[in-house]
Structure 1
């Protein structure tokens, strides 16, 4: 929740003796609030011209290195060994052609052997059949001659055909020239052709292996420049380490200003920063840490600077102690309220509670103070609401209060925080007219000091009021 802000303004000075073309001077404001923890503010970086050029060269070299790292999605176009793939494809095709040619030659040799074998076999089978036929016809002629002789001589011819038939069977089944009929079987086929004979394969049955996309994928998967890929992946994994090695002095991020210094010439930078103010924050301590770095990698740390102490002006300084008067005990005889809360007169119980609320408000313990002051809605309650950032509630309450210098000033702050600049200026001028000392406070509240450059003539009008002249 917003509780206001404080703007620190100070000058950062660098003597000319620390500015060289080959050096970089880094000055880091170190801020300490209520605790002992230091917070580094955005640094002021002053580089020499040669130092800046060195950084540009280093970053350019690293950028070229990054551009040389190939994304895995581009490996196929960059790291694919296309010549090696072409050789492997040619070898694979030669293998397929060789396998087919080998089987084709074997098939042709088998068919040539089979043709010659069948020709010889058929020749011998034909001779066997011819011999059997000649044997039969020769015996038939003898049978006819003998039958004629027997018929002429009057002998019996019964059983003559049977006798010659038996004679034919005895000779045809005994002598190889009549009975050896050759037939091609698997046992007669040489072992190197036997599988072809059994399967009955022909030339058209030989399997022809064709080069496919699967073969291409298989070959390509193992045909990359793997040494280049390994180097590329190593560079990708170690890019941070390589960056530290290549960029000797990287640019400092989130700087207040980065400029090129002129050797030998003093440099001054008006540092300005706005910080949120939290409860209990009363002062800020600031010191300057510095380091000088050279392009030859040497460094030098100057002696620590003195510590600046900023006392934070808070809106709670505008609390109205006179509001306690309505809670004084009448018999106390106190005519007016002392300037300090520490020497209090007698108060009613409500007054003591209200005084505790003012004490908490003064100590900037706004939440605790609001729990008490909200019971007594008045100017101090509106002030506490403003410190806590409840601007709408504060504006509603301020609108009900009588005009005073403090009321108008707080009203101006509330309007400025609500982005109502015109009303803020009106209330600011009214507050300063009622109390010219308020002009001196404007620079302590960024909400109001930021209005001055926005409105032409506002600064002059405030100066007139501060000098005692009547404002318009």
Structure 2
């Protein structure tokens, strides 16, 4: 349920009509009482420490020097946010608000005529946020008259006394609440401040609102209801409309497509590793042994796809079988060769004699280089350095394997159980040649679709997801994403590496404004205006640039 704000208005009861027996609806409809909505004045905003109203300034030139001069209207005649005449401030109904981390701060003043609030009444004001995709109610503002408040307190006292005495179950508690409490308290209520004058009640309202891709412009209106203890009610007439222009960094998004260089090679290599089990000391390929059936199907499937595709010629297919080091080296060499040739015969028999001339058979008696690499990177082996030193020093493979087994029995048991099976492999290497290509390499450009996705997310105000993609590019859009998430220090770091132009200078000014570095920020803003006079107009509408221009 939406949060609601509640103000106890008992102190106002003396100023209201004492007659509470008459119908609220009849009296208020006759008076056409209504709530009014307005932007904050300068004094009000400063009092609330929320002074976001932009100053209107114009760049003027004295010889070759630029300086800032305050003005009442913009050169094109656009309405100025406020105009102060003596001590009376007339506030317009349009204001720019800065976006930070996907949120904006909306604040305004609600003015109520005192005749709306009697001792026996409650006023509920609901600000409505209008966006292109629908209307969103904001937190309620609830003002209670003194007698109305006492009635609520009495009802709750009766309800709590009943529960304490009779201890009903959940259903009984709900029924008792409906019976005793005529006007429930708003949930999550909290006390806020108001200002009272002779004829009006003025309330400062502020709330943070999340933005989305439809949030370029936000409109605020009020709806309200006056309810009295006699059950009569009065719906407030429609209020004025306030407009907020969301000042975001999205106008600085670089929408130009980004391309990357792609190198197309004439010659391509495809490699694949498989594990075929054999009976001890045997070279026959048995497809029912272990996972051989699945491994053989994997080999045949890949070979079929490569040979039948139309983009490449297949120059050669190299089949290399290798063994683990246990046993005599000469026997392992004959075993690896026999298994490689047996596997070739199996593939020719099952796939067709067309691959007989493409297949080249090789074998590795004992895969010592791979064994050493696996020992070097396996944290389970605590004596890795000593084992590698032994393997490097001893050249005879049979003596090397025997010394490894004798000096490191515990580690050798781990090698034999975990690592040796990974050395009994069959590797395939497919050497392909692209059809119709004369040069060895061709350089072409292709659209960077990953970057385009990041820009799309940025424009949809999904800043965190956009930054996840754009963080690798470190360009202007990366800066925009950082600024949109209030990562101002990082944005300045990236901007310092980029060439200076009007946009980068303006973005530096924004980051400096947020970090409180006003003098530095003013210099960046003036430089942006020197390079592009359109930045002057943008600055007049940007609340964060106004922070730089106050002094």
TM range (shorter): 0.3 to 0.5
Higher relative contact order (CA 8 A, sep 6+): 1
Q: TM-score, normalised by structure 1?
A: 0.44
Structure whose residues are more often strand by fraction: 2
Q: TM-score, normalised by structure 2?
A: 0.38
Largest Rg, 1 or 2: 1
